[in-house]
Amino acid sequence: GENVEQHPSTLSVQEGDSAVIKCTYSDSASNYFPWYKQELGKRPQLIIDIRSNVGEKKDQRIAVTLNKTAKHFSLHITETQPEDSAVYFCAVGYGNNRLAFGKGNQVVVIP
Amino acid sequence: GAVVSQHPSRVICKSGTSVKIECRSLDFQATTMFWYRQFPKQSLMLMATSNEGSKATYEQGVEKDKFLINHASLTLSTLTVTSAHPEDSSFYICSAPEGSTDTQYFGPGTRLTVL
């Protein structure tokens, strides 16, 4: 099956700085790459996704970049705010619309 | 985005009993839904794919006789944890893709505690 890895596991940033989380995957046939934000005890919320026909996608302070050759994609959060503190999961689409999730990154924004 | 609901939000049961969890797509139809399990501070692990009108597809290592899945209609899938034991205590979350895309929307989850 798909092997998905996220780095770093924990990331602390000063409010206003940028945060970058990287995700690597194993199956070169994968073509759908979403990022989810999960606050404690709540559902994962889709924050941005990208498909393999583009290299970058941006939505306000959130962006995702994809390098299919190297099989990695990254989440970029600019001008971080305390409400950005959460666990972020990358996922990779594979076979029959299934998603394989990474282990998650705990992002802490320090006011 | 699309809305997915789950019921109940939390349940506490005795060891050996069965628990049913419902997952509903509220404003769209879903021929496929997915069931995940999430242990504290861990990732989401896909358990099975629920298919409307046919049998569920289970991931490797997931016991189909223990986790019964029924996709009764285009808006409802149920997961029944049979003969629950304390090690089944977890956060169970469903998701559904909207339309023909693979964009998935998650339910709010069900916290199961087995005493």
Please give the backbone phi and psi of residue A83, each rounded to the nearest 5 degrees, phi first.
-70, -5
Nearest CB to A96; choose among B42, B43, B49 = B49
Residue among B94, B20, B100, B102 at smallest CA distance from A95: B102
Chain A closest-CA separation from residue B43 CA (Å): 5
Q: Residue A72 pLDDT more than 80?
A: yes
* B74 half-sphere exposure, CB direction, 13 A CA radius: 5
Per-residue pLDDT, A14 = 97
What is the C-alpha separation between A87 and B38, in angstroms, rounded? 13
Is residue B31 less than 8 Å (CB to CB) from chain A?
Answer: no
pLDDT tens, residue by residue, A27-69: 988 999 999 999 998 999 999 999 988 899 999 999 999 999 9
Nearest CB to A101; choose among B1, B43, B49 = B43
Per-residue pLDDT, A8 = 79
pLDDT tens, residue by residue, B47-80: 999 999 899 999 999 999 999 999 989 999 999 9
Is residue A25 less than 8 Å (CB to CB) from chain B?
Answer: no
Is residue B98 less than 8 Å (CB to CB) from chain A?
Answer: no
Identify the residue whose tokens are 């941005």. Answer: A48
Per-residue pLDDT, A59 = 95
**In order along chain B (115 residues), what is the average pLDDT of each group of 10 residues?**
92 97 93 95 94 93 95 94 97 89 89 97
Q: Cβ A42–B105 below 8 Å, yes or no?
A: no
Per-residue pLDDT, A93 = 92
Q: Cβ A98–B49 below 8 Å, yes or no?
A: yes
How much is the mean pLDDT over chain B? 94
pLDDT tens, residue by residue, A88-110: 999 999 888 899 999 999 999 99
